[in-house]
Amino acid sequence: MKRPFLVIGTAALFASYFLFAQNIYFAAVILLFVGFTAVVLTFKGKETLIKTVLIGVIFLLLAARIYIVDVGIQEKTEQFRNQTVNSRGIITEIIYKSENYSVFTLKITKADPDAAREIKASVAVFEYADFSVGDEFVGRLEFTEQNEKYKARNYSQATYFSFNANDYFISNTRPFSVYSLGEDARRLINKAIYSTGVDNSTEVLKALIIGDDSDISDTFYQNVKNSGVSHMLVVSGMHLGIICGLVLRLRGMGLLRKRSTVILCVLTSLLLLVVCFFHVSIFRAAITYIIMLVGMLVNKNSDGLNSLGFATFLLVMIYPYIFYNVAFLLSLSATFAVIYPSGKLMTLIELSVFKKPLSPVVSSLINTLGMSLCATICTMPITVKYFGSFSLVAPLTNLIVGYAVSAALVLGVIATVLYFIPLCKGLSMILYVIAKYGCRFFIGVVDCIGSAELGVVKLSSNGYVYCMIAAVLFVMFLAILCSILQKRKDDGDAQRKNT
Protein backbone atom coordinates (compact mmCIF):
# COMPACT_ATOMS: atom_id res chain seq x y z
CA MET A 1 0.00 0.00 0.00
CA LYS A 2 1.56 3.26 -1.16
CA ARG A 3 -0.17 5.57 1.32
CA PRO A 4 -1.16 3.59 4.43
CA PHE A 5 -1.62 6.66 6.62
CA LEU A 6 -4.00 8.23 4.11
CA VAL A 7 -6.23 5.18 4.58
CA ILE A 8 -5.74 5.31 8.35
CA GLY A 9 -6.57 9.02 8.54
CA THR A 10 -9.68 8.62 6.37
CA ALA A 11 -10.96 5.71 8.46
CA ALA A 12 -10.27 7.71 11.63
CA LEU A 13 -12.46 10.56 10.34
CA PHE A 14 -15.37 8.22 9.64
CA ALA A 15 -14.98 6.68 13.09
CA SER A 16 -15.03 10.19 14.62
CA TYR A 17 -18.29 10.92 12.79
CA PHE A 18 -20.06 7.80 14.00
CA LEU A 19 -18.71 8.26 17.53
CA PHE A 20 -20.50 11.58 18.00
CA ALA A 21 -23.66 10.04 16.53
CA GLN A 22 -23.54 7.64 19.51
CA ASN A 23 -22.74 4.68 17.23
CA ILE A 24 -19.67 3.70 19.25
CA TYR A 25 -19.73 0.07 18.16
CA PHE A 26 -20.19 1.01 14.49
CA ALA A 27 -17.18 3.34 14.80
CA ALA A 28 -15.09 0.52 16.24
CA VAL A 29 -16.26 -1.92 13.56
CA ILE A 30 -15.28 0.55 10.81
CA LEU A 31 -11.79 0.86 12.26
CA LEU A 32 -11.34 -2.88 12.64
CA PHE A 33 -12.71 -3.61 9.15
CA VAL A 34 -10.57 -0.97 7.39
CA GLY A 35 -7.60 -2.00 9.51
CA PHE A 36 -8.02 -5.63 8.45
CA THR A 37 -8.35 -4.58 4.80
CA ALA A 38 -5.22 -2.43 5.06
CA VAL A 39 -3.32 -5.37 6.54
CA VAL A 40 -4.43 -7.70 3.73
CA LEU A 41 -3.54 -5.18 1.01
CA THR A 42 -0.18 -4.38 2.57
CA PHE A 43 0.95 -7.93 3.23
CA LYS A 44 2.93 -9.14 0.20
CA GLY A 45 5.59 -11.26 1.87
CA LYS A 46 7.77 -11.57 4.91
CA GLU A 47 9.62 -8.35 4.10
CA THR A 48 6.48 -6.32 4.85
CA LEU A 49 5.50 -8.17 8.02
CA ILE A 50 6.57 -5.38 10.37
CA LYS A 51 4.69 -2.77 8.36
CA THR A 52 1.61 -4.97 8.27
CA VAL A 53 1.62 -5.57 12.03
CA LEU A 54 2.19 -1.85 12.67
CA ILE A 55 -0.89 -0.84 10.65
CA GLY A 56 -3.01 -3.42 12.46
CA VAL A 57 -1.78 -2.21 15.87
CA ILE A 58 -2.51 1.41 14.94
CA PHE A 59 -6.12 0.60 14.12
CA LEU A 60 -6.54 -1.39 17.33
CA LEU A 61 -5.14 1.52 19.36
CA LEU A 62 -7.48 3.97 17.68
CA ALA A 63 -10.52 1.73 18.24
CA ALA A 64 -9.52 1.29 21.90
CA ARG A 65 -9.01 5.03 22.33
CA ILE A 66 -12.47 5.82 20.95
CA TYR A 67 -14.12 3.21 23.17
CA ILE A 68 -12.29 4.35 26.33
CA VAL A 69 -13.15 8.03 25.75
CA ASP A 70 -16.83 7.25 25.19
CA VAL A 71 -17.11 5.10 28.33
CA GLY A 72 -15.14 7.63 30.41
CA ILE A 73 -17.47 10.49 29.42
CA GLN A 74 -20.54 8.53 30.45
CA GLU A 75 -19.08 7.47 33.81
CA LYS A 76 -17.83 10.93 34.78
CA THR A 77 -21.06 12.61 33.67
CA GLU A 78 -23.05 10.43 36.09
CA GLN A 79 -20.56 11.17 38.86
CA PHE A 80 -20.56 14.96 38.34
CA ARG A 81 -24.35 15.09 38.27
CA ASN A 82 -24.51 14.05 41.91
CA GLN A 83 -21.88 16.25 43.53
CA THR A 84 -20.18 19.65 43.46
CA VAL A 85 -16.68 19.87 42.01
CA ASN A 86 -14.13 21.92 43.95
CA SER A 87 -11.54 22.83 41.36
CA ARG A 88 -8.35 24.70 40.54
CA GLY A 89 -7.28 25.14 36.95
CA ILE A 90 -6.02 27.32 34.10
CA ILE A 91 -8.20 29.23 31.63
CA THR A 92 -7.21 27.99 28.17
CA GLU A 93 -9.76 29.73 25.92
CA ILE A 94 -12.26 32.58 26.11
CA ILE A 95 -15.42 31.49 24.30
CA TYR A 96 -17.67 34.45 25.10
CA LYS A 97 -17.26 37.51 27.29
CA SER A 98 -19.70 40.29 28.17
CA GLU A 99 -20.56 42.55 31.11
CA ASN A 100 -22.87 40.08 32.82
CA TYR A 101 -22.09 36.68 31.31
CA SER A 102 -18.90 34.90 30.26
CA VAL A 103 -17.93 31.42 29.12
CA PHE A 104 -14.41 30.02 29.06
CA THR A 105 -12.62 26.68 28.76
CA LEU A 106 -10.94 25.52 31.97
CA LYS A 107 -8.14 22.97 32.18
CA ILE A 108 -8.62 21.56 35.68
CA THR A 109 -5.33 20.68 37.40
CA LYS A 110 -6.58 19.89 40.92
CA ALA A 111 -10.08 18.80 41.93
CA ASP A 112 -12.28 17.11 44.48
CA PRO A 113 -13.50 14.58 43.38
CA ASP A 114 -10.29 13.39 41.79
CA ALA A 115 -12.22 12.27 38.66
CA ALA A 116 -12.39 15.91 37.54
CA ARG A 117 -8.62 16.34 37.55
CA GLU A 118 -6.94 16.91 34.16
CA ILE A 119 -10.23 17.35 32.28
CA LYS A 120 -11.23 20.30 30.08
CA ALA A 121 -14.56 21.89 30.91
CA SER A 122 -16.75 24.69 29.62
CA VAL A 123 -17.41 27.04 32.55
CA ALA A 124 -20.09 29.76 32.64
CA VAL A 125 -19.92 32.82 34.92
CA PHE A 126 -23.15 34.81 35.39
CA GLU A 127 -21.59 38.17 36.25
CA TYR A 128 -18.79 40.45 35.08
CA ALA A 129 -15.39 38.83 35.45
CA ASP A 130 -12.01 40.22 34.43
CA PHE A 131 -9.84 37.39 33.14
CA SER A 132 -7.63 36.33 30.24
CA VAL A 133 -6.11 33.14 28.88
CA GLY A 134 -3.56 31.71 31.29
CA ASP A 135 -5.23 33.05 34.47
CA GLU A 136 -5.77 30.66 37.37
CA PHE A 137 -9.33 29.80 38.42
CA VAL A 138 -10.26 28.51 41.86
CA GLY A 139 -13.89 27.78 42.71
CA ARG A 140 -16.85 25.48 43.10
CA LEU A 141 -18.44 24.08 39.94
CA GLU A 142 -22.02 22.88 39.51
CA PHE A 143 -22.59 20.40 36.68
CA THR A 144 -24.95 21.38 33.86
CA GLU A 145 -25.93 19.65 30.63
CA GLN A 146 -24.11 20.68 27.46
CA ASN A 147 -25.97 23.18 25.31
CA GLU A 148 -26.91 21.23 22.18
CA LYS A 149 -26.03 24.25 20.05
CA TYR A 150 -22.39 24.15 21.18
CA LYS A 151 -22.04 20.47 22.05
CA ALA A 152 -20.44 19.45 18.75
CA ARG A 153 -17.94 22.32 18.97
CA ASN A 154 -17.03 21.51 22.58
CA TYR A 155 -16.72 17.78 21.99
CA SER A 156 -14.52 18.35 18.93
CA GLN A 157 -12.02 20.12 21.21
CA ALA A 158 -12.19 17.44 23.95
CA THR A 159 -14.35 19.65 26.18
CA TYR A 160 -16.85 17.03 27.31
CA PHE A 161 -18.32 18.65 30.43
CA SER A 162 -20.11 21.89 31.23
CA PHE A 163 -20.32 23.66 34.60
CA ASN A 164 -21.63 26.84 36.20
CA ALA A 165 -19.17 28.62 38.50
CA ASN A 166 -20.03 29.44 42.13
CA ASP A 167 -17.88 30.95 44.90
CA TYR A 168 -14.93 31.40 42.59
CA PHE A 169 -11.75 33.44 42.45
CA ILE A 170 -9.70 34.28 39.36
CA SER A 171 -6.06 35.19 39.93
CA ASN A 172 -4.38 37.50 37.43
CA THR A 173 -1.03 36.31 38.78
CA ARG A 174 -0.77 33.52 36.27
CA PRO A 175 1.11 30.28 36.97
CA PHE A 176 3.56 29.30 34.24
CA SER A 177 1.95 27.26 31.46
CA VAL A 178 1.98 27.10 27.67
CA TYR A 179 -1.28 29.09 27.74
CA SER A 180 0.12 31.92 29.87
CA LEU A 181 3.22 31.88 27.66
CA GLY A 182 1.03 32.14 24.57
CA GLU A 183 -1.02 34.99 26.06
CA ASP A 184 2.15 36.91 27.01
CA ALA A 185 3.52 36.40 23.49
CA ARG A 186 0.26 37.68 21.96
CA ARG A 187 0.38 40.80 24.15
CA LEU A 188 3.94 41.55 23.08
CA ILE A 189 3.07 41.03 19.40
CA ASN A 190 -0.02 43.25 19.75
CA LYS A 191 2.15 45.95 21.33
CA ALA A 192 4.50 45.79 18.35
CA ILE A 193 1.67 45.88 15.78
CA TYR A 194 -0.05 48.81 17.52
CA SER A 195 3.21 50.83 17.53
CA THR A 196 2.25 52.46 14.22
CA GLY A 197 -1.31 53.37 15.24
CA VAL A 198 -4.67 51.68 15.30
CA ASP A 199 -7.07 51.43 12.34
CA ASN A 200 -8.83 48.73 10.31
CA SER A 201 -5.59 47.65 8.67
CA THR A 202 -4.05 47.09 12.10
CA GLU A 203 -6.81 44.68 13.08
CA VAL A 204 -6.45 42.78 9.80
CA LEU A 205 -2.66 42.55 10.23
CA LYS A 206 -3.18 41.24 13.76
CA ALA A 207 -5.55 38.58 12.43
CA LEU A 208 -3.02 37.58 9.75
CA ILE A 209 -0.10 37.19 12.16
CA ILE A 210 -1.69 35.63 15.26
CA GLY A 211 -5.23 34.81 14.15
CA ASP A 212 -6.85 37.30 16.55
CA ASP A 213 -9.95 38.60 14.76
CA SER A 214 -11.78 39.69 17.93
CA ASP A 215 -11.68 43.38 16.96
CA ILE A 216 -12.84 42.94 13.36
CA SER A 217 -16.39 44.19 12.82
CA ASP A 218 -19.20 41.76 12.03
CA THR A 219 -19.99 43.66 8.81
CA PHE A 220 -16.46 43.31 7.48
CA TYR A 221 -16.28 39.67 8.50
CA GLN A 222 -19.49 38.99 6.58
CA ASN A 223 -17.91 40.65 3.54
CA VAL A 224 -14.89 38.37 4.02
CA LYS A 225 -17.19 35.31 3.97
CA ASN A 226 -19.05 36.59 0.90
CA SER A 227 -15.72 37.04 -0.88
CA GLY A 228 -14.59 33.51 -0.03
CA VAL A 229 -11.36 34.51 1.75
CA SER A 230 -12.18 33.63 5.38
CA HIS A 231 -9.17 31.30 5.52
CA MET A 232 -6.83 34.27 5.27
CA LEU A 233 -7.88 35.55 8.70
CA VAL A 234 -7.44 32.17 10.43
CA VAL A 235 -3.87 31.09 11.08
CA SER A 236 -3.55 27.75 9.31
CA GLY A 237 -1.44 25.88 6.79
CA MET A 238 -1.39 28.84 4.40
CA HIS A 239 0.23 31.12 6.98
CA LEU A 240 2.66 28.47 8.18
CA GLY A 241 3.55 27.66 4.58
CA ILE A 242 4.29 31.31 3.78
CA ILE A 243 6.47 31.77 6.87
CA CYS A 244 8.31 28.47 6.42
CA GLY A 245 8.63 29.30 2.72
CA LEU A 246 10.53 32.44 3.72
CA VAL A 247 12.94 30.30 5.76
CA LEU A 248 13.34 27.84 2.88
CA ARG A 249 14.06 30.77 0.56
CA LEU A 250 16.97 31.74 2.86
CA ARG A 251 18.30 28.21 2.50
CA GLY A 252 17.95 28.47 -1.28
CA MET A 253 20.10 31.61 -1.14
CA GLY A 254 22.76 29.66 0.73
CA LEU A 255 22.28 31.54 4.02
CA LEU A 256 21.12 28.50 5.99
CA ARG A 257 22.15 24.87 6.09
CA LYS A 258 19.60 22.07 5.83
CA ARG A 259 19.69 21.19 9.52
CA SER A 260 19.37 24.84 10.56
CA THR A 261 16.47 25.29 8.13
CA VAL A 262 14.58 22.31 9.55
CA ILE A 263 15.17 23.39 13.16
CA LEU A 264 14.07 26.96 12.43
CA CYS A 265 10.90 25.79 10.64
CA VAL A 266 10.03 23.38 13.46
CA LEU A 267 10.55 26.10 16.08
CA THR A 268 8.36 28.44 14.01
CA SER A 269 5.62 25.79 13.90
CA LEU A 270 5.82 25.25 17.66
CA LEU A 271 5.77 29.00 18.33
CA LEU A 272 2.64 29.45 16.21
CA LEU A 273 1.03 26.55 18.08
CA VAL A 274 1.62 28.26 21.42
CA VAL A 275 0.60 31.74 20.22
CA CYS A 276 -2.61 30.35 18.69
CA PHE A 277 -3.38 28.26 21.80
CA PHE A 278 -3.11 24.96 19.90
CA HIS A 279 -6.02 25.74 17.57
CA VAL A 280 -6.82 22.60 15.58
CA SER A 281 -6.22 24.14 12.14
CA ILE A 282 -2.68 25.24 13.00
CA PHE A 283 -2.18 22.00 14.98
CA ARG A 284 -2.95 19.97 11.86
CA ALA A 285 -0.75 22.16 9.69
CA ALA A 286 2.16 22.03 12.15
CA ILE A 287 2.09 18.23 12.34
CA THR A 288 2.00 17.94 8.54
CA TYR A 289 4.89 20.37 8.06
CA ILE A 290 7.01 18.79 10.79
CA ILE A 291 6.61 15.37 9.14
CA MET A 292 7.69 16.81 5.79
CA LEU A 293 10.63 18.65 7.37
CA VAL A 294 11.84 15.52 9.13
CA GLY A 295 11.65 13.74 5.76
CA MET A 296 13.79 16.48 4.24
CA LEU A 297 16.31 16.12 7.08
CA VAL A 298 16.78 12.38 6.44
CA ASN A 299 16.90 12.93 2.65
CA LYS A 300 13.53 11.32 2.02
CA ASN A 301 10.72 13.20 0.30
CA SER A 302 7.53 12.90 2.36
CA ASP A 303 4.33 12.17 0.48
CA GLY A 304 1.92 15.05 1.07
CA LEU A 305 -1.24 12.95 1.27
CA ASN A 306 0.41 10.39 3.55
CA SER A 307 1.63 13.18 5.86
CA LEU A 308 -1.87 14.68 5.88
CA GLY A 309 -3.34 11.28 6.76
CA PHE A 310 -0.86 10.81 9.59
CA ALA A 311 -1.65 14.27 10.99
CA THR A 312 -5.37 13.43 10.82
CA PHE A 313 -4.80 10.16 12.65
CA LEU A 314 -2.89 11.91 15.45
CA LEU A 315 -5.59 14.55 15.83
CA VAL A 316 -8.34 11.93 16.05
CA MET A 317 -6.30 10.16 18.73
CA ILE A 318 -6.12 13.42 20.71
CA TYR A 319 -9.59 14.74 19.83
CA PRO A 320 -11.81 11.71 19.00
CA TYR A 321 -14.78 13.94 18.04
CA ILE A 322 -12.76 16.26 15.80
CA PHE A 323 -14.90 15.44 12.75
CA TYR A 324 -17.39 18.05 14.04
CA ASN A 325 -14.85 20.87 14.22
CA VAL A 326 -15.65 23.19 11.31
CA ALA A 327 -12.23 24.88 11.27
CA PHE A 328 -10.52 21.50 11.12
CA LEU A 329 -12.72 20.26 8.27
CA LEU A 330 -12.14 23.43 6.25
CA SER A 331 -8.39 23.29 6.88
CA LEU A 332 -8.21 19.58 6.04
CA SER A 333 -10.25 19.81 2.83
CA ALA A 334 -8.39 22.92 1.64
CA THR A 335 -5.02 21.27 2.27
CA PHE A 336 -6.13 18.15 0.42
CA ALA A 337 -7.20 20.39 -2.48
CA VAL A 338 -3.79 22.07 -2.63
CA ILE A 339 -1.89 18.77 -2.43
CA TYR A 340 -3.86 16.58 -4.85
CA PRO A 341 -6.49 18.04 -7.25
CA SER A 342 -4.58 21.31 -7.61
CA GLY A 343 -1.47 19.44 -8.78
CA LYS A 344 -3.58 17.34 -11.16
CA LEU A 345 -5.24 20.46 -12.56
CA MET A 346 -1.87 22.12 -13.16
CA THR A 347 -0.57 19.00 -14.93
CA LEU A 348 -3.77 18.86 -16.99
CA ILE A 349 -3.37 22.46 -18.11
CA GLU A 350 0.27 21.95 -19.07
CA LEU A 351 -0.49 18.75 -21.03
CA SER A 352 -3.68 19.81 -22.80
CA VAL A 353 -3.56 23.62 -23.15
CA PHE A 354 0.00 24.94 -23.32
CA LYS A 355 1.88 21.69 -24.10
CA LYS A 356 5.16 23.35 -23.20
CA PRO A 357 6.92 24.70 -20.09
CA LEU A 358 5.39 27.91 -18.77
CA SER A 359 7.21 31.03 -17.67
CA PRO A 360 7.53 31.43 -13.87
CA VAL A 361 5.09 34.37 -13.78
CA VAL A 362 2.38 32.65 -15.85
CA SER A 363 2.88 29.39 -13.97
CA SER A 364 2.53 31.19 -10.62
CA LEU A 365 -0.67 32.96 -11.64
CA ILE A 366 -2.28 29.80 -13.05
CA ASN A 367 -1.16 27.78 -10.02
CA THR A 368 -2.64 30.34 -7.61
CA LEU A 369 -5.94 30.44 -9.49
CA GLY A 370 -6.01 26.63 -9.74
CA MET A 371 -5.34 26.13 -6.03
CA SER A 372 -8.06 28.60 -5.14
CA LEU A 373 -10.54 26.93 -7.51
CA CYS A 374 -9.80 23.46 -6.13
CA ALA A 375 -9.96 24.68 -2.53
CA THR A 376 -13.33 26.36 -3.21
CA ILE A 377 -14.78 23.17 -4.70
CA CYS A 378 -13.39 20.87 -2.00
CA THR A 379 -14.57 23.09 0.87
CA MET A 380 -17.95 23.80 -0.76
CA PRO A 381 -19.82 20.93 1.00
CA ILE A 382 -18.62 22.16 4.41
CA THR A 383 -19.44 25.83 3.83
CA VAL A 384 -22.91 24.92 2.56
CA LYS A 385 -23.52 22.52 5.47
CA TYR A 386 -22.54 24.99 8.21
CA PHE A 387 -23.04 28.43 6.63
CA GLY A 388 -25.70 27.82 3.98
CA SER A 389 -23.77 29.45 1.15
CA PHE A 390 -20.55 29.53 -0.86
CA SER A 391 -18.81 32.08 -3.03
CA LEU A 392 -18.38 31.60 -6.79
CA VAL A 393 -15.94 34.51 -6.95
CA ALA A 394 -13.60 33.05 -4.32
CA PRO A 395 -10.94 31.93 -6.86
CA LEU A 396 -10.86 35.39 -8.46
CA THR A 397 -10.81 37.18 -5.09
CA ASN A 398 -7.96 34.97 -3.89
CA LEU A 399 -6.01 35.71 -7.04
CA ILE A 400 -6.51 39.48 -6.61
CA VAL A 401 -5.63 39.72 -2.91
CA GLY A 402 -3.42 36.65 -2.45
CA TYR A 403 -0.07 38.28 -3.25
CA ALA A 404 -0.89 41.40 -1.21
CA VAL A 405 -1.87 39.29 1.81
CA SER A 406 1.24 37.12 1.49
CA ALA A 407 3.46 40.22 1.30
CA ALA A 408 1.68 41.80 4.29
CA LEU A 409 2.12 38.61 6.33
CA VAL A 410 5.83 38.25 5.51
CA LEU A 411 6.57 41.93 6.15
CA GLY A 412 4.49 41.85 9.35
CA VAL A 413 6.38 38.84 10.70
CA ILE A 414 9.77 40.38 9.85
CA ALA A 415 8.69 43.69 11.41
CA THR A 416 7.56 41.92 14.58
CA VAL A 417 10.93 40.18 14.95
CA LEU A 418 12.84 43.42 14.29
CA TYR A 419 10.71 45.33 16.82
CA PHE A 420 12.32 43.42 19.68
CA ILE A 421 15.88 43.79 18.38
CA PRO A 422 17.74 46.86 19.73
CA LEU A 423 18.25 49.67 17.19
CA CYS A 424 15.85 48.04 14.71
CA LYS A 425 12.54 49.60 15.81
CA GLY A 426 12.70 52.28 13.12
CA LEU A 427 13.03 49.69 10.34
CA SER A 428 10.31 47.64 12.02
CA MET A 429 7.84 50.52 11.92
CA ILE A 430 8.61 51.18 8.24
CA LEU A 431 7.86 47.54 7.40
CA TYR A 432 4.66 47.69 9.45
CA VAL A 433 3.49 50.73 7.45
CA ILE A 434 4.17 48.91 4.15
CA ALA A 435 2.41 45.78 5.43
CA LYS A 436 -0.64 47.87 6.37
CA TYR A 437 -0.90 49.12 2.78
CA GLY A 438 -1.29 45.49 1.74
CA CYS A 439 -3.99 45.07 4.39
CA ARG A 440 -5.80 48.20 3.17
CA PHE A 441 -5.80 46.78 -0.36
CA PHE A 442 -7.28 43.57 1.04
CA ILE A 443 -9.97 45.54 2.92
CA GLY A 444 -10.87 47.57 -0.17
CA VAL A 445 -11.26 44.53 -2.44
CA VAL A 446 -13.20 42.54 0.16
CA ASP A 447 -15.58 45.42 0.93
CA CYS A 448 -16.21 45.99 -2.78
CA ILE A 449 -16.91 42.35 -3.65
CA GLY A 450 -18.41 41.22 -0.35
CA SER A 451 -20.85 44.07 0.17
CA ALA A 452 -22.28 43.54 -3.34
CA GLU A 453 -22.64 39.80 -2.62
CA LEU A 454 -21.24 39.01 -6.06
CA GLY A 455 -21.35 35.29 -6.76
CA VAL A 456 -22.78 34.31 -3.36
CA VAL A 457 -24.88 31.17 -3.78
CA LYS A 458 -27.24 30.33 -0.92
CA LEU A 459 -28.45 26.76 -0.47
CA SER A 460 -30.31 24.80 2.17
CA SER A 461 -28.19 22.85 4.64
CA ASN A 462 -29.14 19.62 2.84
CA GLY A 463 -27.55 20.98 -0.33
CA TYR A 464 -24.16 19.90 1.00
CA VAL A 465 -24.89 16.35 -0.21
CA TYR A 466 -25.06 17.49 -3.84
CA CYS A 467 -21.99 19.67 -3.31
CA MET A 468 -20.11 16.69 -1.92
CA ILE A 469 -21.05 14.56 -4.93
CA ALA A 470 -19.90 17.38 -7.24
CA ALA A 471 -16.58 17.72 -5.39
CA VAL A 472 -15.90 13.97 -5.53
CA LEU A 473 -16.73 13.84 -9.26
CA PHE A 474 -14.48 16.85 -9.88
CA VAL A 475 -11.50 15.19 -8.17
CA MET A 476 -12.16 11.86 -9.95
CA PHE A 477 -12.45 13.62 -13.31
CA LEU A 478 -9.09 15.38 -12.82
CA ALA A 479 -7.38 12.18 -11.68
CA ILE A 480 -8.68 10.05 -14.57
CA LEU A 481 -8.18 12.64 -17.32
CA CYS A 482 -4.73 13.56 -16.06
CA SER A 483 -3.74 9.88 -15.97
CA ILE A 484 -4.92 9.38 -19.58
CA LEU A 485 -3.06 12.44 -20.88
CA GLN A 486 0.09 11.55 -18.94
CA LYS A 487 0.05 8.04 -20.42
CA ARG A 488 -0.35 9.48 -23.93
CA LYS A 489 2.57 11.81 -23.35
CA ASP A 490 4.77 9.00 -22.00
CA ASP A 491 3.87 6.78 -24.95
CA GLY A 492 4.63 9.60 -27.37
CA ASP A 493 7.98 10.30 -25.69
CA ALA A 494 8.86 6.58 -25.81
CA GLN A 495 7.88 6.38 -29.51
CA ARG A 496 10.01 9.42 -30.40
CA LYS A 497 12.91 8.00 -28.44
CA ASN A 498 12.72 4.69 -30.33
CA THR A 499 12.59 6.44 -33.69
Which CATH number covers residue 170? 2.40.50.140
296 plus 245 within the same structural domain: yes
The predicted pLDDT at position 367 comes to 81
Nearest to 445 by CA among 291, 148, 214, 223: 223
Nearest to 27 by CA among 8, 9, 14: 14
pLDDT digits (tens, 9 = 90+) for 98-109: 888 899 999 999
498 assigned to some structural domain: no
Residue 434 has pLDDT above 90, yes or no: yes
pTM score: 0.82
Instruction: Please tell me the number of Cα atoms within 13 Å of 31 on its side-chain side.
Output: 31
The residue out of 17, 50, 78 marking a domain boundary is 78
CA dist., res. 446 & res. 57, Å (int):
49
Residue 41 has pLDDT above 70, yes or no: no
The predicted pLDDT at position 440 comes to 94
pLDDT digits (tens, 9 = 90+) for 146-180: 877 778 888 888 888 999 998 888 887 777 888 88
The predicted pLDDT at position 445 comes to 93
Which range, 75-79, 137-141, 290-294, has the best average confidence (pLDDT)? 137-141
Specify the range with the lowest mean pLDDT, choosing from 132-136, 296-300, 329-333, 457-461.
Answer: 296-300
- Write the DSSP assignment of 107-145 as a string of letters: EEEEEESGGGTT-EEEEEESS-----TT-EEEEEEEEEP
Number of domains in the chain: 4
Q: Quote the mean pLDDT of the chain.
A: 81
Stretch 92-100: mean pLDDT: 86
The predicted pLDDT at position 50 comes to 61
Could you tell me which residue, 399 or 248, shows the higher pLDDT?
399
The predicted pLDDT at position 357 comes to 66
Stretch 296-303: mean pLDDT: 66
The predicted pLDDT at position 27 comes to 60
160 plus 114 within the same structural domain: yes
Q: Does residue 294 contact residue 277 with C-beta atoms inside 8 Å?
A: no
Which range, 94-108, 262-276, 302-316, has the best average confidence (pLDDT)? 94-108
The residue out of 300, 318, 336 marking a domain boundary is 318
The predicted pLDDT at position 429 comes to 92
Could you tell me which residue, 55 or 305, shows the higher pLDDT?
305
Confidence of residue 438 (pLDDT cuts 50, 70, 90): very high
Confidence of residue 11 (pLDDT cuts 50, 70, 90): low
The predicted pLDDT at position 373 comes to 87
CA dist., res. 311 & res. 326, Å (int):
17
499 assigned to some structural domain: no
Residue 183 has pLDDT above 90, yes or no: no
Stretch 486-495: mean pLDDT: 77
133 plus 106 within the same structural domain: yes
CA dist., res. 138 & res. 136, Å (int):
7
Confidence of residue 443 (pLDDT cuts 50, 70, 90): very high
Confidence of residue 247 (pLDDT cuts 50, 70, 90): confident
Stretch 221-237: mean pLDDT: 83
The residue out of 148, 175, 202 marking a domain boundary is 175
134 plus 111 within the same structural domain: yes
The predicted pLDDT at position 29 comes to 59
Confidence of residue 298 (pLDDT cuts 50, 70, 90): low
Specify the range with the lowest mean pLDDT, choosing from 185-199, 239-253, 262-276.
Answer: 239-253
495 assigned to some structural domain: no
422 plus 351 within the same structural domain: yes
User: In which domain, by residue range, is 108 found?
Assistant: 83-175
- What residues pair up with 393 in beta bridges, in sequence order? none
196 plus 118 within the same structural domain: no
Confidence of residue 439 (pLDDT cuts 50, 70, 90): very high
Burial 147-180 (b: 16+ CB within 10 A, else e): eeeebebbbbbebbbbbebeeeebeeebeebebb
The predicted pLDDT at position 33 comes to 60
